[in-house]
Amino acid sequence: MDKQFKVDYYNPVQVSTDHAWAKVLDEPNQARRQWLIEHIKKILKEENILLVAHYYVHPDLQDLAIESGGIVADSLEMARFGKNSTAQTLVVAGVKFMGETAKILSPEKTILMPDLEANCSLDLGCSVDSFREAASQYPDHVKVVYANTSAAVKAYSDWVVTSSCAVDIVKHLRDLGKSIFWAPDKHLGHFIQKETGADMVLWQGSCIVHDEFKGYELAELKKERPRAKVSPSSVIALADVVGSTSAILKAARELVADEFIVATDNGMMHQLRLQNPTKVFIEAPTSGQSATCKSCAHCPWMAMNGLENLYQCLLDKLGEISVDQAYLERAKVPIQRMLDFTSRAPSPVTHLVPGIGAA
């Protein structure tokens, strides 16, 4: 039976809620949109700036990243791609921890973001002070944190994992006889504990988007579309594929099905449809406490990345990411452990784990 460490999200002593809000961006009209796209492309090319975008940001930003020689990927691949690039300036279209990860792996480069207040509920729900206090109660446990955490939390951890390698790394630690202090995603933690049987203490954080998916709503949609594959699930119990962002894309390409019900951030739909133009992708229904529609699963902080603020970021070099030097050096250690582990794996690490709060 796994142990739990409970966090009160509304207790300011444990978790600051100063930035637990998101701006709503206005969509530019078509003429302005085209003007912005052309001028953004021009700056990226002339100044040799690399745009790296997450799967969950606006389709226009994803298209710009690909067309300008950048990448659309998860947080780790975004940072790794940026590190290997010759460009000395990177623009990260995503949320703050992604910009921090890019800076940790490329400290010599300038890392910009369209909006530095684009955050993450998993990150906000796991402050460094609360994390250190909780982890200190389990001094014999290995501290393993999900990528969706601040540089400060990473600096006090032993391992950083993404959804695509989490199960494999925890299995490795289990085989070494280690107990795990896991933070912050409780859903991913529960799944890993079930898959590995590892002794784990779980932080009780969650992604506000993935918390909206409800099994009974999905079951009704499955009845309406019985041939559709589901990715992922109560959602997990109803799923045909449970996976990270990259695993979901892979499953959509390889599964013999022409319809898919997708239970993750709807920003993923753009790449799914681009890569599989003959297949149908249906957004899974949401009906959580904060849901206001039946299919509206989108991270409000990812939505803070738009054409207007991307243009201003490029034009005036706004939104530069900085990481405290003490945190930067220490945070690189657990990230490098993950990179070394995945590079040593006898075969590519592709174990499917929930895309719940997927990085």
Q: What is the pLDDT of residues 321-333, one digit of tens each?
A: 999 999 999 999 9
- Per-residue pLDDT of 262-274, as tens digits, reads 666 666 777 777 8
**Cα–Cα distance, 252 to 275 (Å, whole number):** 9
Residue 14 has a pLDDT of: 36
CATH code that applies to domain 210-283: 3.40.50.10800
Residue 355 has a pLDDT of: 34
Per the document, the length of the chain is 359
Residue 160 has a pLDDT of: 97
Please answer whether residues 153 and 130 qualify as being in contact, where contact means their C-beta atoms are separated by less than 8 angstroms.
no
**Cα–Cα distance, 220 to 235 (Å, whole number):** 12
Q: Which two tokens stand for residue 240?
A: 């045909």
**Which of 10-24, 60-74, 304-318 has the weakest average pLDDT?**
10-24
Residue 354 has a pLDDT of: 34
Q: How many CA atoms lie within 13 A of 159 on its CB side?
A: 26
Q: Do domains 30-119+302-325 and 210-283 have the same CATH topology?
A: yes
**Cα–Cα distance, 347 to 266 (Å, whole number):** 30
Report the greatest alpha carbon distance in the chain. 61
For the chain, the first-to-last Cα distance in angstroms comes to: 27
**Cα–Cα distance, 297 to 287 (Å, whole number):** 10
Q: Compare 274 and 33 and report the one with higher pLDDT.
A: 33
**Does 30-119+302-325 carry CATH code 3.40.50.10790?**
no
Q: Indicate the pairing of strand 49-54 with strand 71-73.
A: parallel
| CATH architecture assignment, domain 3-17+122-207+328-344 | 3-Layer(aba) Sandwich (3.40)
Residues near 95 by Cβ (< 8 Å), separated by ≥ 6?
54, 118, 119, 120, 123, 299, 301, 302
Q: Is pLDDT at 16 greater than 50 in this prediction?
A: no
- Domain locations along the chain: 3-17+122-207+328-344, 30-119+302-325, 210-283
